[in-house]
């Protein structure tokens, strides 16, 4: 029972604090029932953050259960630990997860993005894995608007400042621009780590009497929102300076990575958890609940950087670069020395108890005493109302007769290539260290997915928990990508969800990688809006179906609701992070055409699908129609064909056909490698006797799913035809590589260097970056 | 006692940050901006006896660690 | 020959250097913790890239006071080879083992990409495997690589510039200078020639799988120089 002195606020005050945490009066009553008494202020705060939408998935839980989570390679399924774990053979596993940091980035883009990077990296190395790569999926408003440029530049700087210093390469991702994100940008960061299977760490407490260590930076009032403000005002009647923005410290994080991996390698650590959102409150109760034990801590022992902090504030602070460790009794000094070597504080703040209670002391007084499982498992689940948006049918109408055919297709192509969503992203990528750790074998922007060589470990170095070295004979590469198409989801969330997964898988097979598993960030508006919940429901169904069809289980991720501004919600934007493995000795494929005379082949079928295309948006300023249909069986056949072609070493290049359609995919094949610009002559005319002619703009710029542009030596064409027929994938030999122009039928004849200039200068000009 | 230290790039060196800020000020319509220098500001709490000894110590701190004499100059203010 | 790679808190290219020295060069290489004073019998030392102490005061400013740096200075004085890459170069400047200082890139942005360099001196212990005037490709990755020094120093070091940023044809032009470095300087030795600081990362280009193996010649040159010393 908490000490009387700390339980003084009146019920009215407590309810106000509860409401500031978005807990309804009904939920408040539930807390009283759970505890069998009125809660203390600290307890209200702990319930508030633990039962928040962010921590408890209150609105999304009923739908997320549709995701397939198991598979032969899945070592730790979704939800069990901080991130999913996938077996990649040879005694090694990949740990990966994607997380959003949208709201902090909207407030303060540099620190918002930086702390997003820091947080996701901690999720990975707390599993015992060395972080080996980062990818960022970003969405902003149109670059013509100063605020969009400010946000983009800030976010990129934040990612660069943090990721570069911490020594984890940023190897890929995507950036898309649309008016839907002008008030609320999306910043989703995915981190990948590598761990020996036998050294996967757990986020569970265990062993009654074992000490609980607090490690890393000190605790301040960072990230305490309005709830804290209210609580202070009411509890103490005085104001304080409360930095609502968390500040990242990549130097401390780098030391934390090294010290933690060293500590985990000693075997002295039983459980470990990052203090992420909701800090000590969630990390202590989650580790306790997972281990089926209790934890007692004393907030008076927590290192602080602000004076006069209340237990409420210490428990809820979101100060960065902090970890919670449960270590074997008797080994605490050894662990502390190890952290001290890296200049990090490690303080014993409590111990594991038998009673299953999360007990928070402040010196002799007890500030909170809650069954740990009540915080983690008994959060309310909301079955929110769901309703198809009234505007959707109208948005889906796209009478093509009223969309005029362009007069100059070459000019349309140049415009599309220079539009920020399609244009070369190297002005951004060059600000990220994408080479540190020397595993990045395909530079960003040169292929459809990022590719890392995998080097297996040897005896851990003194300075590194999991030193890596190449297994020369193994010939294995890890590929990763992030994909999502908000416009498609806006027009049809179910198809859009499928499309995101299908495109991610297509990107992986384009480098020759077999898709293994998925992490997702689901970015939506307010769950209290039935239209948003309808989008969410449909989108999750689409993702789940596609993941099941491709046998790529979902290993974790996060849901971000309330992405809204004064002008409404963002487009529903699921971001799919997918990893794959290249196991054949041929190595990764890139997207650019290689040699004069090679055949250019189109795999898949082009339909008259212009709905939701980049072409419609950029050229005709329309966001309408139905997005391309995804045929999951067809996609799977295409994937399998690609893996066969890659394994047999038949291909010289492969490039997925997405934003901007075939014309853009072909142009990118010509110009992607700056030192080797090369032309191509192709015909997209359907063979005589084809069912129904397709509008030329749909042929060139439509975004039908399930298509890949490949190139190969001419003498392989027959073999590829044979394999395509066997996999029942439509195939057309469209032309050949060569010359210095891209020629597409009679519609387009453009010098490749001009196309290249348009593509390379698009984003640079919009941002004013000097080469 | 509190030492307040301002460290700036030496005159004559291109201060790229300063230049960028000057351009930004001009583009916002502020006229007559002749130059902008960007620097670091440090506050150091000390408990030394005399002002003279403190100043001498802070000087040494600047020379040894806080400033790089090749490219930076510094100014020290002592106050309470 | 035994190599040592110094590990400062915040170093992040230490393992990459160790990998190249061991796996590509086939030489014994050990990490040297910054708090130690012994070089463990190493014949040559590499100060790796990264963000020692977060670069929070100035790049390299705090790392130079690490205990190991006294031993590194002694090795340099005795004629041993010391290579500083990126942050390692910045530390060598702060430590006074090389003249001059680094400022922020003129573009005020971190730059990570391949650049072309002209080898100005092929007669140093770090470049004896190159041809004079050879144009090579190495990646850079830094925020503060704009070398500067007073006019007298710039004149004095003229013959010690080992690498300059250049275009693909070997011409030193403003357009080919990524960070505004004085004289397009990318790599500099001391007068004696046994200490080299360079902003580009040779360890990131020591394996053709990573797009270039030009950097490997820097390490092979060191080996060559030591074997024949």
Question: Do the strands C195-198 and C81-85 form a parallel or antiparallel pair, or are they unpaired?
Answer: parallel
The DSSP call for residue C212 is: B
User: What average pLDDT is seen over chain A?
Assistant: 89
Per-residue pLDDT tens for A50-64?
888 888 888 999 999
Distance CA A310, CA A479 (A): 47
Residue A633 has pLDDT above 80, yes or no: yes
With beta carbons under 8 A apart, name residues in chain A contacting C56: 251
Q: Are the beta carbons of C215 and C203 closer than 8 angstroms?
A: yes
Q: Are the beta carbons of A484 and A574 closer than 8 angstroms?
A: yes
Q: Are the beta carbons of C52 and C91 closer than 8 angstroms?
A: yes
Residue A317 has pLDDT above 60, yes or no: yes
User: What pLDDT sits at residue A22?
Assistant: 81
Share above pLDDT 70 across residues of chain A, in percent, rounded to a whole number:
92
Nearest C-alpha neighbor of C147 from the set C178, C113, C109, C123: C178
Q: What are phi and psi of A27, to 5 degrees?
A: -65, -35
Question: Do the strands A186-196 and A92-100 form a parallel or antiparallel pair, or are they unpaired?
Answer: antiparallel
Distance CA A691, CA A684 (A): 15
Minimum Cα–Cα distance from C177: chain A residue: A771
We report the CATH number of the domain holding residue C19 as 3.40.50.880
Residue A225 has pLDDT above 70, yes or no: no
Residue C40 has pLDDT above 90, yes or no: yes
* Residues of B at the C interface, defined by Cβ within 8 angstroms: 9, 13-14, 16-17, 20, 65-66, 68, 70-71
- The number of angstroms, rounded, from the C-alpha of A685 to the middle of its chain's C-alpha atoms is 39
Residue A237 has pLDDT above 80, yes or no: no
Where helices occur in A695-741 by DSSP H, the ranges are: 696-701, 717-726
Alpha-carbon distances, residue A669 vs A198, A445, A480, A709 (angstroms): 43, 12, 20, 8
Minimum Cα–Cα distance from C205: chain A residue: A438
Chains A and B touch (3+ CB pairs under 8 A): no
Q: Does C15 touch chain A (CB under 8 A)?
A: yes
What distance, in Å, lies between the first and last C-alpha atoms of chain C? 11
Which carries the bigger pLDDT value, residue A26 or residue A386? A386
Which residue, chain included where needed, has tokens 């080299």? C196
Q: Are the beta carbons of A147 and A141 closer than 8 angstroms?
A: yes
Contacts of residue C155, defined as CB under 8 A and 6 or more positions apart, other chains included, come to none
Chains C and A touch (3+ CB pairs under 8 A): yes
Structural domains in chain A plus CATH codes: 4-61+201-377 (3.90.650.10)
CA distance A599 to chain C (A): 26
Residue C70: count other Cβ atoms within 10 Å of its Cβ: 12
Side-by-side strand order, sheet with A653-656: A653-656, A708-712, A599-603, A731-737, A680-682, A741-744, A748-751
User: What pLDDT sits at residue A770?
Assistant: 55
What are the structural domain ranges in chain B?
Answer: 2-27+35-79
Q: Using DSSP, state whether A428 is helix, strand or coil.
A: helix
Alpha-carbon distances, residue A217 vs A40, A319, B10, C24 (angstroms): 27, 8, 35, 38
Region C106-112 average pLDDT? 94
- Closest Cβ opposite residue C104 in set B16, B65, B68: B16
User: What pLDDT sits at residue A133?
Assistant: 95
With beta carbons under 8 A apart, name residues in chain C contacting A771: 175
User: What pLDDT sits at residue A244?
Assistant: 61
Distance CA A76, CA A554 (A): 11
Q: What are phi and psi of A653, to 5 degrees?
A: -155, 160
Structure tokens that stand for A293 in this block: 């034990």
Distance CA A243, CA A317 (A): 10
Which helix or strand (DSSP H or E) is residue A680 part of?
Answer: strand A680-682
User: What pLDDT sits at residue A689?
Assistant: 60
Nearest C-alpha neighbor of A182 from the set A142, A237, A127: A142
Catalytic residue among A21, A54, A434, A655: A54
Nearest C-alpha neighbor of A506 from the set A686, A662, A632, A617: A632
Q: Using DSSP, state whether C195 is helix, strand or coil.
A: strand
Label residue A423 by pLDDT band (50, 70, 90).
Answer: very high
Q: What are phi and psi of A258, to 5 degrees?
A: -65, -45
Label residue C202 by pLDDT band (50, 70, 90).
Answer: very high
Alpha-carbon distances, residue C92 vs A361, A575, C139, C187 (angstroms): 50, 44, 20, 12
Per-residue pLDDT tens for A438-451?
999 888 888 888 88
* Inter-chain CB proximity A461 and C15 less than 8 Å: yes
Side-by-side strand order, sheet with A365-371: A269-274, A322-327, A211-216, A345-353, A294-298, A357-362, A365-371
Distance CA C67, CA C56 (A): 19
- Closest Cβ opposite residue B71 in set C101, C108, C180: C101
Label residue A76 by pLDDT band (50, 70, 90).
Answer: confident
Q: Is C201 a catalytic residue?
A: yes
Catalytic residue among C94, C120, C144, C203: C203
Which residue, chain included where needed, has tokens 């598993």? A517
Q: Are the beta carbons of A503 and A359 closer than 8 angstroms?
A: no
User: What pLDDT sits at residue A236?
Assistant: 43
Label residue A43 by pLDDT band (50, 70, 90).
Answer: very high
Which residue, chain included where needed, has tokens 């032009």? C173
CATH no., domain B2-27+35-79: 3.30.1280.10
Enclosing domain of residue C144: 3-227
User: What pLDDT sits at residue A332?
Assistant: 93
**What is the value of pTM for the model shown?**
0.93
Per-residue pLDDT tens for A547-559?
999 999 999 989 9
User: What's chain A's length in residues?
Assistant: 771
For A:446-465, CB contacts with C below 8 A are 453, 461-464
User: What pLDDT sits at residue C175?
Assistant: 95
With beta carbons under 8 A apart, name residues in chain A contacting C20: 438
Where helices occur in A36-185 by DSSP H, the ranges are: 41-50, 53-56, 61-64, 102-107, 109-125, 146-166
Residue A681 has pLDDT above 70, yes or no: yes
Residue A329: count other Cβ atoms within 10 Å of its Cβ: 13
Residue A29 has pLDDT above 80, yes or no: yes
Label residue A230 by pLDDT band (50, 70, 90).
Answer: very low
Distance CA A269, CA A150 (A): 43
Region B68-77 average pLDDT? 91
Distance CA A47, CA A187 (A): 27
User: What pLDDT sits at residue C131?
Assistant: 97
Per-residue pLDDT tens for A484-528?
999 999 999 999 999 999 999 999 999 999 999 999 999 999 999
With beta carbons under 8 A apart, name residues in chain C contacting B65: 57, 61-62, 65
With beta carbons under 8 A apart, name residues in chain C contacting B9: 103
Residue A228 has pLDDT above 50, yes or no: no
Label residue B70 by pLDDT band (50, 70, 90).
Answer: confident
Nearest C-alpha neighbor of A489 from the set A573, A568, A597: A573
Q: Are the beta carbons of A97 and A557 closer than 8 angstroms?
A: yes
Question: Do the strands C161-166 and C111-119 form a parallel or antiparallel pair, or are they unpaired?
Answer: antiparallel
Q: Are the beta carbons of C110 and C142 closer than 8 angstroms?
A: yes
Which residue, chain included where needed, has tokens 């995919």? A665
User: What pLDDT sits at residue B80?
Assistant: 66
Structure tokens that stand for C112 in this block: 């990570």
Q: Is A434 a catalytic residue?
A: no
* Residues of C at the B interface, defined by Cβ within 8 angstroms: 57-58, 61-62, 65, 94, 100-101, 103-108, 146, 148-150, 180
Distance CA C41, CA C4 (A): 9
Distance CA A594, CA A669 (A): 9
Distance CA C196, CA C128 (A): 13
CA distance B28 to chain C (A): 20
Which helix or strand (DSSP H or E) is residue A450 part of?
Answer: strand A450-453
* Inter-chain CB proximity A249 and C54 less than 8 Å: yes
Q: Are the beta carbons of A563 and A184 closer than 8 angstroms?
A: yes
Label residue B14 by pLDDT band (50, 70, 90).
Answer: confident
Side-by-side strand order, sheet with B2-9: B39-45, B2-9, B72-79
Question: Do the strands A680-682 and A741-744 form a parallel or antiparallel pair, or are they unpaired?
Answer: parallel
Distance CA A273, CA C220 (A): 44
Number of domains chain C contains: 1
Residue A45 has pLDDT above 70, yes or no: yes
Q: Are the beta carbons of A59 and A492 closer than 8 angstroms?
A: no
Q: Are the beta carbons of A131 and A121 closer than 8 angstroms?
A: yes
Distance CA A552, CA A498 (A): 13
Structure tokens that stand for A644 in this block: 């066969």
For C:60-99, CB contacts with A below 8 A are none
Residue B72: count other Cβ atoms within 10 Å of its Cβ: 19
Mutation for C interface: A258, A438, A764, most C CBs within 10 A: A438
Mutation for A interface: C55, C110, C213, most A CBs within 10 A: C110
Label residue A319 by pLDDT band (50, 70, 90).
Answer: confident
Any idea which of A721-725, B14-18, C94-98 has the lowest mean pLDDT? B14-18
Structure tokens that stand for A471 in this block: 């297994």
Q: Are the beta carbons of A612 and A174 closer than 8 angstroms?
A: no
Distance CA A414, CA A75 (A): 47
Half-sphere exposure for C40 (CA within 13 Å, toward CB):
16
């Amino acid at each position: 029972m908490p000490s009387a002195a700390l339980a003084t606020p009146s019920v009215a005050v407590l309810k106000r604090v509860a409401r500031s945490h978005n807990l309804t009066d009904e939920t408040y009553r539930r807390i009283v029932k759970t505890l069998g008494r009125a809660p203390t202020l600290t307890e209200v705060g702990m319930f508030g953050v633990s039962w928040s939408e962010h921590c408890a998935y209150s609105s999304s839980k009923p739908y997320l259960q549709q995701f397939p989570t198991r598979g032969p390679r899945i070592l730790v399924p979704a939800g069990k630990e901080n991130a999913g774990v996938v077996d990649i053979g040879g005694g090694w596993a990949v740990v990966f997860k994607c997380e959003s940091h949208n709201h902090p980035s909207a407030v303060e883009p540099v620190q918002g993005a930086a702390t997003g990077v820091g947080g996701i990296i901690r999720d990975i190395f707390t599993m015992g894995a060395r972080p080996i790569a980062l990818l960022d999926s970003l969405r902003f408003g149109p670059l013509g608007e100063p605020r969009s440029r400010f946000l983009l530049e800030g976010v990129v700087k934040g990612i660069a400042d943090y990721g570069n210093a911490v020594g984890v390469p940023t190897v890929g991702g995507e950036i898309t621009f649309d008016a839907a994100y002008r008030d609320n940008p999306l910043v989703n960061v995915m981190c990948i780590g590598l761990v020996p299977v036998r050294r996967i760490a757990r986020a569970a407490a265990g062993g009654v009497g074992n000490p609980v260590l607090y490690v890393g930076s000190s605790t301040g009032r960072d990230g305490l929102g309005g709830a804290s403000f209210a609580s202070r005002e009411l509890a103490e009647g005085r104001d304080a300076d409360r930095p609502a923005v968390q500040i990242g410290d990549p130097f401390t994080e780098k030391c934390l990575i090294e010290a933690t991996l060293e500590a985990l390698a000693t075997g002295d650590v039983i459980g470990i958890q990052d203090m992420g959102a909701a800090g000590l409150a969630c990390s202590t109760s989650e580790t306790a609940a997972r281990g089926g034990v209790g934890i007692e801590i004393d907030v008076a022992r927590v290192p602080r950087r602000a004076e006069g902090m209340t237990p409420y504030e210490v428990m809820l602070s979101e100060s960065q670069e902090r970890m919670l460790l449960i270590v074997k009794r008797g080994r605490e000094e050894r662990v502390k020395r190890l952290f001290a070597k890296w200049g990090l504080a490690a303080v014993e703040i409590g111990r594991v108890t038998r009673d299953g209670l999360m007990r928070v002391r402040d010196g002799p007084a007890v500030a909170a005493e809650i069954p740990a499982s009540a915080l983690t498992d008994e959060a309310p689940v909301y079955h929110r109302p769901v309703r198809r948006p009234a505007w959707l049918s109208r948005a889906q109408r796209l009478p093509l007769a009223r969309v005029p055919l362009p007069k100059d297709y070459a000019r349309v192509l140049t415009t599309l290539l220079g539009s920020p969503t399609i244009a070369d992203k190297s002005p951004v990528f060059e600000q990220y260290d994408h080479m540190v750790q020397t595993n990045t074998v395909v530079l960003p922007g040169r292929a459809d997915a990022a590719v890392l060589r995998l080097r297996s470990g040897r005896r851990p170095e003194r300075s590194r928990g999991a030193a890596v070295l190449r297994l020369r004979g193994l010939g294995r590469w890890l590929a990763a990508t992030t994909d999502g198409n908000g416009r498609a989801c806006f027009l049809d969330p179910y198809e859009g969800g499928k499309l995101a997964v299908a495109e991610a898988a297509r990107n992986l097979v384009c480098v020759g990688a077999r898709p293994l598993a998925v992490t997702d960030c689901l970015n939506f508006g307010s769950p209290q809006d039935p239209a948003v919940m309808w989008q969410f429901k449909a989108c999750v169904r689409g993702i789940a179906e596609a993941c099941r069809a491709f046998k790529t289980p979902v290993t974790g991720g996060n849901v971000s609701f309330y992405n809204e501004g004064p002008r409404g919600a963002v487009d529903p934007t699921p971001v799919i992070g997918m990893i794959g493995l290249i196991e054949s000795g041929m190595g990764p494929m890139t997207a650019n055409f290689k040699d004069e005379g090679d055949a250019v082949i189109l795999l898949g079928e082009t339909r008259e699908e212009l709905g939701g295309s980049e072409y419609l948006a950029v050229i005709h300023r329309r966001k309408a129609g139905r997005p391309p249909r995804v045929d999951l069986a067809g996609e799977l056949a295409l994937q399998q064909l690609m893996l066969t072609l890659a394994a047999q070493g038949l291909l010289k290049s492969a490039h997925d056909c997405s934003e901007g359609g075939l014309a853009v995919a072909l142009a990118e094949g010509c110009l992607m490698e700056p030192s080797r610009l090369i032309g191509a002559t192709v015909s997209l005319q359907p063979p005589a006797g084809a069912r129904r002619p397709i509008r030329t703009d749909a042929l060139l710029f439509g975004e039908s799913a399930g298509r890949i542009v490949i190139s190969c030596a001419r003498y392989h064409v027959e073999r590829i035809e044979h394999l395509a027929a066997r996999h029942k994938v439509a195939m057309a030999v469209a032309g050949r590589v060569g010359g210095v122009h891209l020629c597409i039928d009679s519609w387009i004849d453009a010098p490749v260097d001009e196309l290249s200039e348009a593509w390379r200068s698009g984003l640079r000009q919009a941002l004013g970056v000097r080469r | 006692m509190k030492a307040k230290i301002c460290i700036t790039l030496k005159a004559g060196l291109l201060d790229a940050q300063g230049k960028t800020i000057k351009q930004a000020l001009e583009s916002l319509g502020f006229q007559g901006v002749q130059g902008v220098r960007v620097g670091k500001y440090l506050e150091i709490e000390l408990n030394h006896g005399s002002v003279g000894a403190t100043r001498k110590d802070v000087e040494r701190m600047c020379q040894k660690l806080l400033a790089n004499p090749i490219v930076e100059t510094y100014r020290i203010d002592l106050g309470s | 020959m035994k190599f040592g790679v110094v590990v400062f808190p915040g170093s992040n290219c230490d393992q990459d250097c160790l990998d190249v020295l061991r796996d590509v060069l086939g030489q014994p290489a050990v990490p040297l913790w910054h708090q130690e004073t012994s070089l463990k019998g190493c014949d040559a030392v590499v100060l790796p890239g990264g963000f020692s102490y977060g670069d929070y005061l100035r790049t390299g400013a705090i790392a130079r006071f690490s205990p190991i740096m006294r031993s590194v200075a002694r090795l340099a004085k005795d004629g041993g080879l010391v290579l500083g890459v990126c942050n390692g170069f910045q530390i060598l400047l702060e430590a006074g083992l090389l003249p001059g200082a680094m400022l922020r890139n003129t573009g005020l942005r971190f730059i990570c990409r391949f650049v072309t360099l002209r080898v100005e001196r092929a007669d140093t212990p770090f470049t004896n495997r190159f041809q004079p005037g050879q144009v090579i490709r190495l990646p850079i990755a830094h925020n503060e690589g704009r070398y500067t020094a007073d006019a007298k120093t710039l004149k004095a070091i003229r013959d010690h510039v080992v690498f300059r940023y250049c275009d693909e044809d070997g011409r030193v032009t403003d357009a080919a200078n990524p960070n505004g470095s004085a004289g397009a300087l990318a790599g500099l030795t001391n007068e004696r020639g046994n200490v080299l600081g360079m902003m580009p990362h040779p360890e990131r280009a020591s394996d053709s799988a990573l797009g270039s193996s030009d950097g490997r010649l820097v390490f092979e040159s060191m080996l060559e120089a030591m074997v024949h010393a």
